[in-house]
């Protein structure tokens, strides 16, 4: 290791310690954009390799990877590539795996924890199922001791149909005394060059920058929250330390899709909605919710295998009075005594 990088590591470690002490004594962001410290990734970024541009990291987590330097593969030289549709990002893991691997940074609708389309889920058990609900209603996707996620459905019912076509427009992520909302704006005509993403923190809209690190972050007394863009517009990754990683993409219903499925959508509404993929940390064995229950140990899906469109019920168990309330027959989450406004 050259002298320049050694000095950089020492400096960054000292700054990290100082920043944590300083921020802990300051009030939280209260929805305003702040230069908070991002969740500790367990490493310090080094200068990229000359010539190839492969990013490197010096691991600072105690264990088998302690004080080792990991280099991103040539197939994915950057941790945050701008062209996510074509390039995977480099994922640096300084835990027991001690490796740098290539992973997509956009939601994979066929992956574990996915929620896409006319709501189609892929559970923690890997089983795919649909959940219909009804337009302009809210349902608990996940409800656990320290995490609750509601989804707001939009939809339409063409003449002659017995049920609504529905899509997830907004997610409300509740934890501790805070609420983080990620959603899609209602747009009449879709334009790829216009950002239709909405992010709110404790009831206030926040701006996620499109330049620089392209992220918004805040430290609370309990944990760190980061919302980082994974494409120029309409795609973000949300990280809530020790609880959740969420990849979100805002998409419309296209003309071809509208015609194939005979949605009969009005001409003045693109039905912008979310494609999402969840990764959870530290869920309890009693976790509930339409998606959450599929992460219970020993969970056996009741849906019939091999059926083209397997439907999961539960509307009566998981419907909530509003997007911001964790109240339903099976809901487990309860706010601490001091509750942030939603």
The arithmetic mean of pLDDT across residues 321-328, rounded, is: 97
Three-state SS annotation for the chain: CCHHHHHHHHHHHHHHHHHHHHHHCCCCCCCCCEECCCCCCCEEEECCCCCCCCCEEEECCCCCCCCCEEECCCCCCCCCCCCCCCCCEEEEECCCCCEEEEECCCCCCCCCCEEECCCEEECCCCCEEECCCCCCEEEEEEECCCCEEEEEEEEECCCCCCCCEEEEEEEEEEECCEEEEEEECCCCCCCCCCCCEEEEECCEECCCCCCCCCEEEEECCCCEEEEEECCCCCEEEEEECCCEEEEEEEECCCHHHHHHHCCCCCCCCCCCEEEEEEEECCCCCCCECCCHHHHCCCCCCCCCCCCCCCECCCHHHHEECCCCCCCCCCCCCCCCCCCCCC
Quote the pLDDT of residue 3.
Answer: 54
CA angle 207, 210, 212 (to 5 degrees): 110
pLDDT above 50: residue 52: yes
pLDDT over 90, % of the chain: 62
- d(CA 69, CA 114) in angstroms, rounded, equals 33
Does residue 318 register a pLDDT over 80? Answer: yes
The per-residue pLDDT for range 194-224, each reduced to its tens digit, is 999 999 999 999 999 988 778 999 999 989 9
- Residues 40-53, mean pLDDT to the nearest whole number: 88
Q: What does the pLDDT average to over 222-238?
A: 92
What sign results for the dihedral spanned by CA atoms 94, 98, 104, 106?
negative
pLDDT-derived band at 14 (thresholds 50, 70, 90) equals very low
3-state SS string for 24-85: HCCCCCCCCCEECCCCCCCEEEECCCCCCCCCEEEECCCCCCCCCEEECCCCCCCCCCCCCC
Q: Which of 123, 138, 129 is nearest to 168 (CA)?
A: 138
Q: What is the pTM of this model?
A: 0.77
For residue 85, name the pLDDT band (cuts at 50, 70, 90).
low
What pLDDT, on the 0 to 100 scale, is given for residue 39?
45
The residue among 153 and 23 whose pLDDT is bigger is 153
């Amino acid at each position: 290791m050259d002298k320049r990088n050694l000095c950089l590591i020492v400096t960054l470690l000292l700054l990290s310690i100082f920043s944590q002490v300083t921020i802990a004594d300051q009030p939280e962001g209260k929805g305003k954009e702040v230069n908070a410290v991002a969740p500790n990734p367990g490493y310090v970024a080094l200068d990229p390799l000359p010539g190839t541009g492969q990013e490197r990291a010096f691991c600072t987590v105690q264990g088998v990877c302690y004080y080792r330097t990991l280099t991103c593969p040539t197939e994915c030289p950057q941790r945050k590539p701008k062209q996510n549709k074509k390039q995977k990002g480099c994922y640096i893991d300084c835990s027991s795996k001690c490796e740098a691997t290539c992973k997509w940074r956009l939601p994979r609708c066929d992956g574990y924890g996915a929620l896409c389309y006319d709501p189609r889920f892929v559970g923690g058990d890997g089983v795919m199922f649909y959940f219909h609900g009804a337009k302009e209603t809210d349902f608990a996707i996940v409800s656990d001791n320290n995490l609750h996620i509601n989804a707001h459905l939009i939809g339409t019912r063409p003449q002659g149909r017995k049920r609504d076509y529905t899509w997830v427009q907004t997610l409300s992520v509740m934890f501790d005394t805070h609420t983080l909302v990620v959603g899609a704006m209602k747009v009449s005509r879709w334009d790829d060059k216009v950002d239709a993403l909405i992010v709110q923190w404790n009831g206030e809209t926040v701006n996620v920058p499109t330049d620089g690190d392209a992220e918004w972050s805040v430290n609370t007394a309990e944990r760190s929250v980061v919302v980082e863009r994974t494409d120029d517009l309409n795609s973000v990754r949300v990280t809530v330390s020790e609880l959740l990683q969420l990849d979100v993409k805002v998409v419309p219903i296209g003309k071809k899709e509208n015609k194939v499925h005979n949605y009969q959508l009005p001409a003045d509404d693109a039905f912008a909605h979310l494609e999402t993929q969840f990764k959870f940390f530290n869920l309890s064995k009693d976790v509930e919710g339409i998606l959450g229950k599929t992460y219970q140990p020993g969970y056996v899906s009741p849906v019939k295998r091999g059926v083209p469109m397997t439907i999961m019920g539960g509307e009566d168990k998981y419907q909530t009075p509003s997007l911001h309330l964790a109240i339903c027959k099976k809901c487990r989450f309860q706010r601490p005594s001091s509750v942030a406004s939603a």
